[in-house]
Structure 1
Amino acid sequence: MLRKPNYVYGEDTLLKVPAPLNFAKYVLQQIWPYDGIGLINGKTHEKLTFRDLAKNAMNLAISLNRMGVGKGDVIGICSENRQEFFSTLIGIICTGATVTCVNPGYTKGELNHVLGISKPRIVFYSPGAYKTHVKTLNTLPYLQKVILFGNEKLNNTILYEDLAKPVSQVFANEANAVTQDEISLENFGVADVMGETDTAIILYSSGTTGLPKGVMVTHMNLIATCEAPETLDPKEMSMHITPWFHVMGMMGVVRVLCSGGAVVYLPKFDADFFMKTIETYKVVQIIVAPPVLIAVCKIQTNYDVSTIRIVYSGAAPLRDDTIAAVKLRFPKLVAVLQGYGMTECTLSATRDTYLEAQKAKVGGVGRVAANTIIKVVDVETRKVLGPNQPGEICLKGPMIMKGYVGKDRRDDFDDEDFFRTGDIGYYDDDKCFFIVDRLKELIKYKGYQVAPAEIEAVLLQHPGIRDAGVVGVPHETGGEVPRAFVVLQSGYNLSEEEIKAFVAEKLSNPKHIRGGVKFVSEIPKTASGKIMRKVLREMAKAKSKL
């Protein structure tokens, strides 16, 4: 059969599919040969070797298996970034159980919603997150046990340390027990799974347009993501600060570890400490969301950040003016690279790579990822479009999720089994992709489709504006018009009319801020840095009722 015209195909890299198709086995095989440090906590300076990460995962898996955990179970992790996270993730998957990763910053209602989707019988918690959620957890009928990271044992909980100890200590009275030094890939086995169909991880969509949905990611989805060519240089130090309960943070780190690279991480972002950590560990590559770059470009510090060569950005569009500011901030920068992805494609569908940094285009999000097919279709007719024609981006390949928990797959996949992303974008003649906006977020003014991200990009060019978000509000004759929510820089006192005039000077008539300007202290965003337009729309409705 011939490939279809106007479909964009990634290179095939899945030439050797590992057996068994258990993702945990794949990771253990990848990291076991490496010596040295794999993870460094930039805040506490704790270090974890590849070998200890693997041994902790295997010991934990044995302990969980003895507790009856296996295929069919869902086990949760709710924690900020910390040393125990990846051993826990891999250890759970070794048993054949499904992991669900939960944002520790969830409110009671959000926690009830996402845990109600996956119904875990056991949840691993960091101490701080547990103290925040304990009252809610006590009301969940399906939750049987809580396992705590750290060394503070609280009522009715189990310590992770007691389960990740050498198995000879945990089961000292049993025959054939081995010590941690003796445990290895040769004497350890993982549960059999159907890698192409069994769910390894349940993650949650960002919830920018509604309540989060449970995204079912299979073992094969995860392996295919790791098998794609490296986007970062594993020989150089990289720093990741995106939360690990988010696919960008989790799989970004796993890919580096599987290539033998060392990762510095921070449990929480602070712009000043972020820059200090770059200096301390001579970080060469940083992987961040755009709000982080905006923050570090607008603070004044004297740290030596000259080691930075690659800045990789994802999770939200990176504006041209931000890219220019980043290049000024990091004096020896080689390239600002971008990727486009989502939880539903287990990381990214398009990406730039460090090996082709010079081919990266300003404002672009790279070329189609390996093993992926992309088509861009007209939002009305569903006709497949060619280069430089914006439409809805649709994805297909082994990295695309199994589906949403409790939702008919046909609701989100078309008749060719392409996932309908709801994102508007296009590719140019060089097959480099560009993202315009979310389909559901486009403002329709008198038949014109206005992208909020374009107006936000202009607002952020003003030196007096620190952050901005735009949504559509009803209008009697226009249908919808843009309303801007603006966070001012300290020391500036801009008026609504000044901001309107600034945008009107730079953008065409349909994109003018006819819906007004609302000054706020912060723009609501997800943990990955995406603007929560649903919250902004609710704020806009509340204002209109005053």
Structure 2
Amino acid sequence: MLKNPKYVYGEEDLYLPAHLNFGSFMLNNLWMNKDKVTLINGSTHEKLTCGEIAQEAMNIAVSLRNIGLKKGEVVAVCSENRREFWGTVIGIVCAGGVVTTINPGYTKDELKHVMSISKPKYVFCSPNTYNTCGKTLKSVSSVNKIIVYGDAYIKEKNTLSYNDLAKVNTKGEMFKKIDLEEFEVVEVNGQTDTLFILYSSGTTGLPKGVMLTHLNVLVSCCLEPTMQSEAVNLTITPWYHTMGLIGTLRGLSTALKVVFLPKFETESYLNTIERYKVNLLIVVPPVLVALCKYKSNHDLSSVNVIYSGAAPLHGDTIKDVHKRFPKLLSVLQGYGMTEVTLAVTRDVQSTAHLAKPGGVGFVVKNAVVKVVDIHTREPLGPNQPGEICAKGVIIMKGYMGKDKGDDFDEEGFFKTGDIGYYDENKYFFIVDRLKELIKYKAYQVPPMELEAVLLQHPAVRDVGVVGLPHASAGEVPLAFIVLQPNTNATEKELQQFVAERLSNPKHLRGGVRFVKEIPKNPSGKILRKRLREMVKTKKSKL
């Protein structure tokens, strides 16, 4: 068989452990670096070594088997970022369980929806989650026991203390230790056994349960790392989300030093960079925009690399980022989603000199990507935008309870629903979500392009663009705008700002609405379905 010249193929020289068991992979790597500090809480300054995470994971694994967990049963983790998270996740995997990570900010109905997909037998949660969601968690018929983190000992039926299972005291110090040589990870079939059930972002509908295998995640962890080995790396992405979960596991597997913050707050974030002399930032575009527009005298000279994901960065924004961080060498980007185990194209350190403004890098190893016409489904060549479709060992096993035929084509390519293209050098660029393109007359207007331009206005702090239904044109672009503090801008001024920079179909014929915030998911993606709901409400005023 001959390769299709219009497909883009990633390199193939990737080395994986023969056992294809992610629990064994993580435990061995952590134990090999057991004296190294790998996680630092930027708020509390608490430190965790690789050995502490590995020890806690083995204790949790043994305790879970003792209370009845069987291979293949699902265990949920519903918590904000905190020290117990990684001992829990790796412990569940070592015990043969399937991990599902759940957003603690879900509403009651959202929580019931995702748990009806994964049907967890046990749930690990923080005291905050237990206080706000405990009744809902207990109401799910599949749940046998709830295990609560922290010092508080909750004496309620079918509720256990994490510290008891992990054999740690209230200070996090272990009083029972298992040696790696006497511990055995439960065997799995890494190619087919599910490791994680994660939830799609739900930007256009209810979240779906994405099944990732041991092989999927092992491949992602064995790709060239995003974080730097001899550097201090800073992340703020929630660990229950793919970007935070897989990204941090990749760092832990090579004992990188990762400083994390439970949430983003500009002053605290900049203080953390200054205090820990952070070298690499992992962020989403709204964070970079906020940092560039925030005036302060923090010493940011330690930062030399920024890795941005979730949405493309506009070239002008990248210029502003370089001004904000004086010693910055490169801004790297990537493109992916839960269904492709984090990233399918990306810039990396070895190809940083080839990165292009607004681009999202080259195809990762052991993956194939094609761009197809959205109507004919025929493959397209360079510089021809179409739907991106991906195939390879990083692609999910499938959605829970859903036939694969709906989401994969006849060649086995996953249909991402994203519009993009590649250039003559096989470097990729993203245009927008297929379902989010604004249909203005015969034109398809990408909201992300308008947002990138509007963010260049000095008074604009954040923005989201959607189509406003129009009787004759179909849809016209409408912008929701969050203004910078102590600034002012009129609707007409912002419409003119766009008109001077973009072609006629992309003008803000739907107008401008001023709002307090733009609804987003944990990875920073705009929830346009919420914006479309807001379209129906009365026009906002300053």
Q: What TM-score range do you get, normalising by the shorter chain?
A: over 0.9
Aligned mates of 1:543, 1:415 — CA distance in 2? 46
Give runs of aligned pairs for residues 436-475 of structure 1, distance below 5 A.
436-475=431-470
AA partner of residue 317 (structure 1):
P
Q: Do the aligned partners of 2:36 and 2:255 also contact (CA within 8 Å) in 1?
A: no
Q: Which residue of 2 aligns with 1:378?
A: 373
Amino acid of the residue matched to residue 179 of structure 2? Answer: I
For the structure 1 residues 477 and 196, does the alpha-carbon distance in structure 2 shift closer, same or farther, using more than 3 Å as the test?
A: same
List 4+ stretches of structure 1 deviating above 3 A. 178-182
- How far the C-alpha of 1:72 sits from its partner, in A, is 2.9
Superposition map of 1:33-182 within 5 A = 33-34=32-33, 35-156=35-156, 157-165=159-167, 180-182=176-178
Give the equivalent residue in structure 2 for 1:183: 179
Q: Deviations over 1:348-385 (max 9, x none)?
A: 00111122222111111111111111000110111111
Tell me the distance in 1 between the aligned counterparts of 2:396 and 2:223: 16
Query: What SS does structure 1 have at the residue aligned with 2:343?
Result: strand
Bigger shift: residues 295-304 or 281-290: 295-304
Partner of residue 240, structure 2: 245
> What does 1:380-419 correspond to in 2, within 5 Å?
380-419=375-414
Greater alpha carbon shift after TM alignment, 260-269 vs 524-533: 260-269
- 1:298 Cα deviation from its structure 2 partner: 1.5
Q: Distance in 2 between matches of 1:357 and 1:236?
A: 17
Residue pair 2:167, 2:175 contacting (<8 A) in 1 also: no
Post-superposition offset of 1:189: 1.0
2:153 counterpart SS class? coil
* 8 Å contact kept, 2:58–2:178: no
- 1:457 and 1:268 map into 2 onto residues whose CA distance is 24
Distance, in Å, in 2 between the alignment partners of 1:236 and 1:310 is 10
1:284 is the counterpart of 2:283:
no
Partner of 1:341: 336
Which amino acid is 1:33 matched to? M
Distance in 2 of aligned mates of 1:418 and 1:502: 40
Matches within 5 A, 1:198-237: 198-237=193-232
SS at match of 1:263: strand
TM (norm. structure 1) is: 0.95
Taking the aligned partners of 2:418 and 2:223, their CA distance within structure 1 comes to 23
What's the counterpart of residue 175 of structure 1? Answer: none
Distance in 2, matches of 1:67 and 1:321, equals: 56
Deviation at 1:97, TM superposition (A): 1.2
CA contact (8 A) 1:122 1:143 kept: yes
Asked if the contact 1:310/1:354 (under 8 Å) is kept, the reply is no
Q: Over residues 470-499 of structure 1, what are the superposed CA-to-partner deviations in whole Å (9 max), with x where a residue is unaligned?
A: 011211111111111111112223222222
SS at match of 2:139: coil
Corresponding residue SS for 1:303: coil
Bigger Cα displacement from structure 2, 139-148 vs 212-221: 139-148
Q: Is residue 334–residue 357 contact of structure 1 (8 Å, CA) maintained in 2?
A: no
Matched to 1:534, the amino acid is: K
State whether structure 2 residue 308 is matched by structure 1 residue 313. Answer: yes
Structure 1: distance between partners of 2:482 and 2:397: 39
Q: Give the unaligned 5+ runs of structure 1.
A: 168-177
Specify the code of the residue in structure 2 equivalent to 1:331. Answer: P
Q: What is the letter of the counterpart of residue 20 of structure 2?
A: L
SS at match of 1:388: coil
Q: Is the 8 A contact 2:232 2:259 kept in 1?
A: yes
Deviation at 1:32, TM superposition (A): 1.6
Give the match for residue 171 of structure 1. Answer: none
Deviation at 1:166, TM superposition (A): 7.3
Tell me by how many angstroms 1:230 deviates. Answer: 1.8
Q: Output one character per residue of 1:206-256: Cα deviation in whole Å (capped at 9) or x when no partner.
A: 111111111111111011111112223212111111001111111111111
Partner of 2:11, secondary structure, is coil
CA deviation after TM superposition for structure 1 residue 543, in Å? 4.0
Q: CA deviation at 1:260?
A: 2.2
1:31 Cα deviation after fit: 2.1
Aligned pair count? 533
Q: Alignment partner of 2:336: what SS? A: strand
How far 1:265 moved relative to its partner? 0.5
CA–CA separation in structure 2 for the residues paired with 1:505 and 1:277 = 39
- CA distance, structure 1, for counterparts of residue 257 and residue 430 of structure 2: 31
Is 2:20 aligned against 1:24?
Answer: no
Find the residue that maps to 1:348 and give its secondary structure: coil
Contact 1:229 1:370 in 2 (8 A): no
Q: Measure, in 2, the Cα distance between the counterparts of 1:198 and 1:473.
A: 45
Q: Secondary structure at the match of 2:380?
A: coil
Q: Distance in 2 between matches of 1:389 and 1:218?
A: 33
Q: TM-score, normalised by structure 2?
A: 0.96
> What letter corresponds to residue 183 of structure 1 in structure 2?
D
Structure 1 pair 181–73 and aligned structure 2 pair: CA distance change class (3 A)? closer
Q: Match for residue 7 of structure 1?
A: 7
Question: Which residue does 1:482 correspond to in 2?
Answer: 477
Residue of 168, 190, 197 corresponding to 2:192: 197
Between the aligned partners of 1:543 and 1:389, the Cα distance in structure 2 is 40
| Secondary structure at 1:453 match in 2 | helix
Q: Return the match for 1:352 from 347, 350, 363.
A: 347
Equivalent residue number for residue 364 of structure 1? 359
Aligned letter for 1:148?
V
User: Aligned pair in 2 of structure 1 residues 270, 20: CA closer, same or farther (>3 Å)?
Assistant: same
Query: Which residue number corresponds to residue 327 of structure 1?
Result: 322
Aligned-residue CA RMSD in angstroms? 1.7
Amino acid at match of 1:31: L
8 Å CA contact 2:313–2:357 kept in 1: the answer is no
User: For residues 239 and 139 of structure 1, what CA distance do their matches in structure 2 show?
Assistant: 37
8 Å contact from structure 2 (residues 59, 178) kept in 1: no
Residue 259 of structure 1 aligns to which amino acid in structure 2?
A: T
- What do residues 403-451 of structure 1 show as CA deviations (whole Å, max 9, x unaligned)? 1111101100000100000000001111110000000000111110100
